[in-house]
Amino acid sequence: MSARMPQAALFAAAVAALPLAAVAVPRAGDVAPPISLKILGSGKTQTLAAFKGKPVYLNFFASWCGPCNEEAPSIVKLYKKYHPQGLVALGVNELDPEAKAKSFVDQYKLPFTVLLDDSGSTGKDYGTLALPVHVFIARDGKISTYRLGEMSNQEIEDAIKEIVKK
């Protein structure tokens, strides 16, 4: 391997070496695994349980993830469009230093709470074999849509519509 191999390619190679049985990937209909993570820039902790009864969109990302950077502007627009209908969005930064996470948030002016998964343990619970990961949780706390990898603007909006209407 070249010493100049991009981080994403190294990550993908490492993931490919993992036994699939070692990774639990949530499915539609499963109750969303609990989350308790530090909020970027505040030192406070945020739990998923605090949003019981609300539609929640979890977006797992990292600053070095190309598709994460491509999707960010669309996610911001869709959040602003559906937040008045009760949508909660939580960004979950995977394994980035806090400064890199903050830079990403500032660059895209993310208007929603961003959590830091410094250890990767929450990402493991959500099957983050690669990034981005999109998890759409209905008001009943069950996963409506789970997607590992990039989604189009329309796919994200369709998944949001599904959880907001329920």
In whole angstroms, what is the distance from residue 131 CA to residue 71 CA? Answer: 11
- What is the average per-residue pLDDT within 104-123? 97
Q: Where are the domains of the chain?
A: 31-165
pLDDT for 64: 97
pLDDT for 21: 44
Among residues 113, 97, 102, 82, the alpha carbon closest in space to that of 7 is found at: 97
> Quick one: fold of 31-165?
Glutaredoxin (3.40.30)
- 46-96 pLDDT, tens digit per residue, is 999 999 999 999 999 999 999 999 999 999 999 999 999 999 999 999 999
Q: Among 37, 40, 65, 68, which one carries the catalytic annotation?
A: 68
Annotated active-site residue 68? The verdict is yes
Alpha carbons within 13 angstroms on the beta-carbon side of residue 64 total 14
